[in-house]
Amino acid sequence: MNTTHAEAMELVEALKASLTEDVVGETGVIIAPPALFLNDAVESLVENEFIAVAAQNCHQEESGAFTGEISAPMLASLDLDAVIIGHSERRQYFGETNADCKVKIAAALNNELAAIYCIGETLEERKSGQFMEVILQQCAEGLEGFIAEDMDNIILAYEPVWAIGTGEVASPEQAQEVHAGIRAWLSERFDNETAENVTVLYGGSCKPGNAADLFAKEDIDGGLIGGASLNAEDFTAIIQARTNA
Protein backbone atom coordinates (compact mmCIF):
# COMPACT_ATOMS: atom_id res chain seq x y z
CA MET A 1 0.00 0.00 0.00
CA ASN A 2 2.48 2.54 -1.28
CA THR A 3 2.53 5.45 -3.78
CA THR A 4 -0.10 7.84 -5.02
CA HIS A 5 -1.27 7.51 -8.61
CA ALA A 6 1.21 10.16 -9.77
CA GLU A 7 4.08 8.51 -7.88
CA ALA A 8 3.19 5.09 -9.25
CA MET A 9 3.11 6.26 -12.85
CA GLU A 10 6.33 8.19 -12.39
CA LEU A 11 7.92 4.96 -11.15
CA VAL A 12 6.59 3.03 -14.15
CA GLU A 13 8.06 5.63 -16.51
CA ALA A 14 11.41 5.49 -14.70
CA LEU A 15 11.49 1.70 -15.02
CA LYS A 16 10.60 1.87 -18.70
CA ALA A 17 13.61 4.12 -19.19
CA SER A 18 16.07 2.12 -17.09
CA LEU A 19 15.09 -1.46 -17.92
CA THR A 20 16.72 -1.69 -21.32
CA GLU A 21 17.44 -4.90 -23.20
CA ASP A 22 21.02 -4.90 -21.91
CA VAL A 23 19.85 -4.64 -18.30
CA VAL A 24 17.04 -7.16 -18.51
CA GLY A 25 18.60 -9.76 -20.78
CA GLU A 26 16.77 -13.06 -20.15
CA THR A 27 15.49 -11.95 -16.73
CA GLY A 28 11.72 -11.91 -16.31
CA VAL A 29 10.51 -8.67 -14.73
CA ILE A 30 7.07 -8.34 -13.12
CA ILE A 31 5.80 -5.28 -11.27
CA ALA A 32 2.80 -5.38 -8.90
CA PRO A 33 1.29 -1.90 -8.47
CA PRO A 34 -1.64 -1.23 -6.13
CA ALA A 35 -4.94 -2.36 -7.64
CA LEU A 36 -6.13 1.18 -8.34
CA PHE A 37 -3.22 1.78 -10.70
CA LEU A 38 -3.13 -1.56 -12.54
CA ASN A 39 -5.04 -0.46 -15.62
CA ASP A 40 -2.91 2.63 -16.17
CA ALA A 41 0.27 0.62 -15.62
CA VAL A 42 -0.80 -1.96 -18.20
CA GLU A 43 -1.71 0.73 -20.73
CA SER A 44 1.62 2.47 -20.17
CA LEU A 45 3.45 -0.80 -20.80
CA VAL A 46 1.51 -2.04 -23.84
CA GLU A 47 4.49 -1.58 -26.13
CA ASN A 48 7.10 -2.57 -23.54
CA GLU A 49 8.32 -6.14 -23.95
CA PHE A 50 10.43 -6.23 -20.79
CA ILE A 51 7.94 -5.56 -17.97
CA ALA A 52 4.93 -7.71 -17.06
CA VAL A 53 2.24 -6.64 -14.57
CA ALA A 54 0.76 -8.52 -11.62
CA ALA A 55 -1.88 -7.80 -9.00
CA GLN A 56 -1.00 -8.04 -5.31
CA ASN A 57 -3.98 -10.23 -4.44
CA CYS A 58 -7.30 -11.57 -5.71
CA HIS A 59 -10.49 -12.98 -4.24
CA GLN A 60 -11.17 -16.68 -4.63
CA GLU A 61 -14.69 -16.28 -6.05
CA GLU A 62 -15.43 -15.35 -9.65
CA SER A 63 -18.01 -12.74 -8.62
CA GLY A 64 -20.59 -12.02 -5.94
CA ALA A 65 -21.44 -9.93 -2.90
CA PHE A 66 -17.88 -9.35 -1.68
CA THR A 67 -17.75 -5.58 -1.50
CA GLY A 68 -14.28 -4.17 -1.92
CA GLU A 69 -12.76 -7.40 -3.26
CA ILE A 70 -11.30 -7.99 -6.72
CA SER A 71 -11.79 -11.25 -8.62
CA ALA A 72 -9.42 -13.04 -10.96
CA PRO A 73 -11.74 -12.45 -13.95
CA MET A 74 -11.64 -8.71 -13.19
CA LEU A 75 -7.85 -8.80 -13.16
CA ALA A 76 -7.70 -10.87 -16.34
CA SER A 77 -9.94 -8.35 -18.08
CA LEU A 78 -7.15 -5.79 -17.63
CA ASP A 79 -4.71 -8.04 -19.53
CA LEU A 80 -2.59 -8.67 -16.45
CA ASP A 81 0.02 -11.39 -16.46
CA ALA A 82 -0.02 -12.66 -12.88
CA VAL A 83 -1.25 -12.28 -9.32
CA ILE A 84 0.55 -12.64 -6.00
CA ILE A 85 -1.09 -15.17 -3.67
CA GLY A 86 -0.51 -15.65 0.06
CA HIS A 87 1.95 -12.83 0.64
CA SER A 88 3.25 -12.87 4.22
CA GLU A 89 1.33 -9.69 5.00
CA ARG A 90 -1.91 -11.20 3.69
CA ARG A 91 -1.31 -14.18 5.95
CA GLN A 92 -0.30 -12.07 8.97
CA TYR A 93 -2.84 -9.24 8.82
CA PHE A 94 -5.77 -10.81 7.01
CA GLY A 95 -5.60 -14.39 8.24
CA GLU A 96 -5.14 -16.07 4.88
CA THR A 97 -4.51 -19.80 5.19
CA ASN A 98 -2.86 -22.34 2.93
CA ALA A 99 -6.35 -23.59 2.03
CA ASP A 100 -7.38 -20.05 1.04
CA CYS A 101 -4.29 -19.78 -1.12
CA LYS A 102 -5.02 -23.06 -2.90
CA VAL A 103 -8.43 -21.79 -4.01
CA LYS A 104 -6.97 -18.44 -5.07
CA ILE A 105 -4.24 -20.15 -7.10
CA ALA A 106 -6.92 -22.16 -8.89
CA ALA A 107 -8.88 -18.97 -9.59
CA ALA A 108 -5.78 -17.36 -11.07
CA LEU A 109 -4.93 -20.33 -13.30
CA ASN A 110 -8.55 -20.68 -14.42
CA ASN A 111 -8.33 -17.10 -15.69
CA GLU A 112 -4.97 -17.51 -17.43
CA LEU A 113 -3.06 -15.60 -14.79
CA ALA A 114 0.22 -16.91 -13.43
CA ALA A 115 0.19 -17.35 -9.65
CA ILE A 116 3.10 -16.17 -7.50
CA TYR A 117 2.59 -18.27 -4.36
CA CYS A 118 4.35 -16.96 -1.25
CA ILE A 119 5.57 -19.21 1.55
CA GLY A 120 7.84 -18.67 4.53
CA GLU A 121 8.32 -18.94 8.28
CA THR A 122 8.11 -16.51 11.19
CA LEU A 123 10.99 -15.73 13.55
CA GLU A 124 9.49 -18.06 16.17
CA GLU A 125 9.26 -20.87 13.64
CA ARG A 126 12.83 -20.23 12.46
CA LYS A 127 14.22 -20.32 16.00
CA SER A 128 12.27 -23.49 16.82
CA GLY A 129 14.19 -25.34 14.13
CA GLN A 130 10.93 -26.48 12.52
CA PHE A 131 11.03 -23.98 9.68
CA MET A 132 11.33 -26.49 6.83
CA GLU A 133 8.33 -28.40 8.13
CA VAL A 134 6.32 -25.16 8.13
CA ILE A 135 7.42 -24.21 4.63
CA LEU A 136 6.81 -27.63 3.14
CA GLN A 137 3.39 -27.79 4.77
CA GLN A 138 2.59 -24.49 3.06
CA CYS A 139 3.74 -26.04 -0.20
CA ALA A 140 1.75 -29.23 0.31
CA GLU A 141 -1.50 -27.56 1.35
CA GLY A 142 -1.33 -24.62 -1.03
CA LEU A 143 -0.50 -26.81 -4.03
CA GLU A 144 -2.80 -29.70 -3.15
CA GLY A 145 -4.56 -31.08 -6.21
CA PHE A 146 -2.41 -29.34 -8.80
CA ILE A 147 -0.55 -31.37 -11.41
CA ALA A 148 2.87 -30.92 -12.98
CA GLU A 149 1.47 -29.02 -15.96
CA ASP A 150 -0.06 -26.46 -13.59
CA MET A 151 3.39 -25.66 -12.26
CA ASP A 152 4.25 -24.06 -15.61
CA ASN A 153 2.13 -21.15 -14.39
CA ILE A 154 2.97 -21.17 -10.69
CA ILE A 155 5.98 -19.30 -9.28
CA LEU A 156 7.03 -19.94 -5.69
CA ALA A 157 8.36 -17.10 -3.55
CA TYR A 158 10.16 -17.87 -0.29
CA GLU A 159 9.62 -15.06 2.22
CA PRO A 160 11.45 -15.54 5.52
CA VAL A 161 9.10 -13.35 7.53
CA TRP A 162 11.74 -13.09 10.26
CA ALA A 163 14.10 -11.31 7.83
CA ILE A 164 11.61 -8.61 6.80
CA GLY A 165 11.75 -5.46 8.89
CA THR A 166 13.06 -7.23 12.01
CA GLY A 167 16.74 -6.36 11.86
CA GLU A 168 17.50 -10.03 11.26
CA VAL A 169 19.18 -10.93 7.98
CA ALA A 170 18.97 -14.21 6.07
CA SER A 171 22.34 -15.20 4.69
CA PRO A 172 22.61 -16.47 1.12
CA GLU A 173 23.43 -19.87 2.62
CA GLN A 174 20.26 -19.90 4.73
CA ALA A 175 18.19 -18.87 1.73
CA GLN A 176 19.80 -21.52 -0.47
CA GLU A 177 19.11 -24.21 2.13
CA VAL A 178 15.39 -23.46 2.01
CA HIS A 179 15.27 -23.13 -1.77
CA ALA A 180 17.03 -26.48 -2.13
CA GLY A 181 14.53 -28.02 0.28
CA ILE A 182 11.62 -26.63 -1.70
CA ARG A 183 13.05 -27.96 -4.94
CA ALA A 184 13.62 -31.39 -3.40
CA TRP A 185 9.99 -31.41 -2.28
CA LEU A 186 8.85 -30.42 -5.77
CA SER A 187 10.86 -33.30 -7.21
CA GLU A 188 9.19 -35.76 -4.86
CA ARG A 189 5.72 -34.25 -5.26
CA PHE A 190 5.89 -33.97 -9.05
CA ASP A 191 9.09 -35.02 -10.86
CA ASN A 192 12.68 -33.90 -11.35
CA GLU A 193 11.97 -31.95 -14.54
CA THR A 194 9.15 -29.99 -12.93
CA ALA A 195 11.28 -29.26 -9.87
CA GLU A 196 14.08 -27.95 -12.06
CA ASN A 197 11.80 -25.76 -14.16
CA VAL A 198 9.72 -24.14 -11.42
CA THR A 199 10.89 -20.62 -10.61
CA VAL A 200 11.62 -20.17 -6.90
CA LEU A 201 12.16 -16.56 -5.81
CA TYR A 202 13.73 -15.19 -2.64
CA GLY A 203 11.71 -12.50 -0.86
CA GLY A 204 13.50 -11.54 2.33
CA SER A 205 14.87 -8.01 2.05
CA CYS A 206 16.63 -8.51 -1.26
CA LYS A 207 18.52 -5.29 -2.04
CA PRO A 208 21.25 -4.10 -4.41
CA GLY A 209 23.87 -4.87 -1.76
CA ASN A 210 23.01 -8.55 -1.34
CA ALA A 211 21.28 -9.43 -4.61
CA ALA A 212 24.35 -10.75 -6.42
CA ASP A 213 25.31 -13.08 -3.56
CA LEU A 214 21.77 -14.41 -3.34
CA PHE A 215 21.35 -14.94 -7.07
CA ALA A 216 24.69 -16.75 -7.25
CA LYS A 217 23.15 -19.64 -5.30
CA GLU A 218 22.11 -22.63 -7.37
CA ASP A 219 18.46 -22.81 -6.39
CA ILE A 220 17.62 -19.09 -6.09
CA ASP A 221 16.08 -18.04 -9.39
CA GLY A 222 15.34 -14.40 -8.59
CA GLY A 223 13.73 -12.12 -6.06
CA LEU A 224 10.34 -10.98 -4.81
CA ILE A 225 11.34 -7.40 -4.12
CA GLY A 226 9.67 -5.25 -1.48
CA GLY A 227 10.84 -1.78 -0.47
CA ALA A 228 13.67 -1.68 -3.00
CA SER A 229 11.14 -1.89 -5.82
CA LEU A 230 9.84 1.57 -4.92
CA ASN A 231 13.13 3.07 -6.09
CA ALA A 232 13.78 2.67 -9.81
CA GLU A 233 17.56 2.83 -9.39
CA ASP A 234 17.62 0.14 -6.70
CA PHE A 235 15.16 -2.12 -8.53
CA THR A 236 17.14 -1.79 -11.74
CA ALA A 237 20.37 -2.67 -9.91
CA ILE A 238 18.74 -5.83 -8.54
CA ILE A 239 17.56 -6.84 -12.01
CA GLN A 240 21.05 -6.20 -13.36
CA ALA A 241 22.44 -8.47 -10.65
CA ARG A 242 20.07 -11.23 -11.70
CA THR A 243 20.93 -10.79 -15.37
CA ASN A 244 24.63 -11.02 -14.56
CA ALA A 245 24.25 -14.06 -12.28
Among this protein's residues, is 87 annotated catalytic?
yes
133-156: b or e for each residue (b if 16 or more CB lie within 10 Å)?
ebbbebbeebbeebeeebbeebbb
Choosing from 59, 87, 125, 179, which is the catalytic residue?
Answer: 87
Per the CB < 8 A criterion, the answer to whether 175 and 217 are in contact is: yes
How far is the C-alpha of 156 from the C-alpha of 30, rounded, in Å? 14
User: Cβ distance 125 to 168 under 8 Å?
Assistant: no
Task: From residue 207, give the alpha-carbon distance in Å to each of 47, 117, 198, 210.
Answer: 28, 21, 23, 6
Is 179 an active-site residue? no
* Annotated catalytic residue, options 59, 121, 159, 179: 159
**Count of CB atoms within 10 A of residue 46's CB?**
7
Q: Which residues are tagged catalytic?
A: 87, 159
